Structure 1
Amino acid sequence: MTGSPSCVYVTHLVSPKDGSTAAECEDAVTVLPDCSHDHMLRQPLTAGVCDGATESALAKDWARLLSRTAAEHAMERPEMLAGGAAFEKFASSAVAQWGPWLAEYTRSRVAEGRPLKWYEHTKLADGAHATLLTVRVDPDPGPAARPAGETDGAAGPAWQWRAAALGDSCLFQLRDDRLVQAFPVGAAAEFGTAPALFGSRNHDAGLLARRARFAEGRCGPGDRLFLMTDALAAWFLSAADQLSAVRQLLEYSGQPDDLAEFTRWLDGLRESRHLRNDDVAVVRIDFEGR
């Protein structure tokens, strides 16, 4: 937007699989600061995107706790996105919160007259699991990033993003409606049935840090970042006409007040067998300015 101050707009949407309710959705998103999608952000922002593993107990609850903890930690201690000891501290912090949460959940079940069954205890002993994508975006005083091969043109405002991922929730950077970076999965063929997962009872923080992947990049005005859980990410990377896929994303992901329209679009993709019937979470970050 020529003549406007540099800023960032953030939109996020979460939709359950066909046949499930919002309360059953195992995808979770936390964006900080928590503000309206039409609010102009000029300060750092963070996002946590998690996809709970259906086969584990209380996956949706762990996904919500983990996404919130990741976004908060990335805001307060951005060095976690460089990996190593800083990421290990984050991992330990997230796992440490599961025990108290589970104890409170167990007490509430008893108070409601629905104590845990023996088979629930058995599954809970294995812990809950989820994928994790954490992103932080900061204003960058340097010149805006240029497309590959372009060196002319005036320098403009820029933003730096840093990301950590464990599993197959993905970040895509778009410029001029073209994909310029994908992380941590770069091709549809790379999606599998057993992605790396962050376990609620995994106290080996070093192992989690070694399994995590890290990336960074820079964005200029007009660029966009999309953060997606695996089903939508796989659809995007496998699209025969990627420009058409980008335009669909832009059309249906920009209005969080119209979740019904977003869900109808997803249902159409499912009916045509282009999208696997799974929960979907997406965060869209638009960079604007002179």
Structure 2
Amino acid sequence: MTQPPSCVYVTHLVAPKYGSTQAECEDAVVVLPDHPHDHMLRETITAGVCDGATESALAKDWARLLSRAAAEHALERPDLLAGGAAFEEFAASVVDQWQPWLEQYTKERVADGRPLKWYEHTKLAEGAYATLLTVRVDPENVSETDAEACSPTWRWQAAALGDSCLFHLRNDQLVEAFPVGSAEEFGTVPDLFGSRNRDAALLAGRTRYTGGRCLPGDRLFLMTDALAAWFLSVPDQAEALRELLEFSAPDDLGAFVDWLNGLRERQQLRNDDVAVVRIDFEGR
């Protein structure tokens, strides 16, 4: 069977830092629509990638809520990743979701016989924090009535608050790194999206926006900061890419964790949670 031009496959992996369990991982990824990794995608796809700030309470829960809200809103609003009023509306709406979620969490803790301690209340009042990378990929030049067609080109848009990164590769060469362009740019205090920050205009203003086009054979990688910093710092980026491409399915998670631990043992990768989304544009 002939491969249609420029259809898309997506996979993602999330792994905890060494010494932590998967349940403790504070990185989160949501990709929509939610299809298996080997499903040939012809429609718009969105992704939300978050790195929860360990110093804040319930960071992993906020990262999961925020990544899902970002992917859902990006799917509904094509203009979201251009910034402005659309992004401000999203920022306000996702912050509004936090308090009801927290009230339900508090009730469940009481029901489980584990009511919040006084110091937990103090920490929760400060809010939870996470970085946010949101990406939307749209097929171009396809009729809305032609569901079987595939696009010769795809347009992507991205918005980033903090240091989770997008890498666009063509012919397995890096053509764009966003929002961080070099390993030296990673700091210890990235911009963060706070669960109690009701200044939507400030959040939108601190977020960076970009976009581009993908051709058959291109790849997008979305990575949280530890893996992104490694990728930008390696002396042989082609070899690093070959290593990354070994992991293309959820069943590869165990091998992915082993590979990450090897990098950590060699002090090439900071011991932190890792999330990666791989988007392959395949065809002729």
What range describes the TM-score normalised by the shorter chain of this pair?
A: over 0.9
Partner of 1:130: 130
Partner of 2:80: 80
User: Can you list the C-alpha shifts for 1:97-135, whole angstroms capped at 9, x where unaligned?
Assistant: 000000000000001110000000000000000000000
* Code of the aligned partner of 1:233: A
Distance 2:210 2:74 in 1: 14
> In the alignment, which of 179, 198, 217 is matched to residue 174 of structure 2?
179
SS of 2:255's partner is helix
**Which ranges of structure 1 fall in alignment gaps of 5 or more residues?**
143-155
Distance 1:207 1:98 in 2: 18
Distance 1:260 1:245 in 2: 19
Distance 1:270 1:102 in 2: 35
- Please give the residue correspondences for 1:1-290 in structure 2 after superposition, counting only pairs within 5 Å: 3-141=3-141, 157-252=152-247, 254-290=248-284
User: How far has the Cα of 1:262 moved from its partner?
Assistant: 0.6
**1:61 to 1:3, Cα distance in 2 relative to 1, 3 A:** closer
Distance 1:206 1:108 in 2: 33
SS of 1:43's partner is coil
Partner of 1:148: none
- Kept after mapping to 1: 8 A contact 2:5/2:216: no
Q: Once the two structures are aligned, what percentage of the paired residues are identical?
A: 76
Distance 2:10 2:251 in 1: 13
Displacement over 6 Å in runs of 4+ = none
- Kept after mapping to 2: 8 A contact 1:170/1:227: yes
Distance 2:57 2:19 in 1: 19
- Kept after mapping to 1: 8 A contact 2:186/2:229: yes
State the TM-score, normalizing by the size of structure 1.
0.93
User: Can you list the C-alpha shifts for 1:72-117, whole angstroms capped at 9, x where unaligned?
Assistant: 0000012110001110000001100000000000000001110000
* Code of the aligned partner of 1:172: F
Distance 1:111 1:2 in 2: 57
Distance 2:2 2:235 in 1: 33
SS of 1:251's partner is coil
Distance 2:74 2:271 in 1: 31
SS of 1:257's partner is helix
Distance 2:271 2:6 in 1: 38
SS of 1:258's partner is helix
- Kept after mapping to 2: 8 A contact 1:2/1:289: no
User: How far has the Cα of 1:255 moved from its partner?
Assistant: 2.0
Distance 2:2 2:206 in 1: 42
Distance 1:120 1:209 in 2: 29
- Kept after mapping to 2: 8 A contact 1:173/1:224: yes
* Code of the aligned partner of 2:278: R
**1:141 to 1:104, Cα distance in 2 relative to 1, 3 A:** same
- Kept after mapping to 1: 8 A contact 2:6/2:215: no
- Kept after mapping to 1: 8 A contact 2:6/2:283: yes
SS of 1:71's partner is helix
Distance 1:13 1:3 in 2: 26
Distance 1:201 1:163 in 2: 23
Distance 1:157 1:211 in 2: 34
Distance 2:246 2:234 in 1: 16
Distance 1:185 1:13 in 2: 21
State the TM-score, normalizing by the size of structure 2.
0.95
User: Can you list the C-alpha shifts for 1:251-272, whole angstroms capped at 9, x where unaligned?
Assistant: 13x1221210010010100000
User: How far has the Cα of 1:2 moved from its partner?
Assistant: 7.2
User: How far has the Cα of 1:3 moved from its partner?
Assistant: 4.4
- Kept after mapping to 2: 8 A contact 1:10/1:284: yes
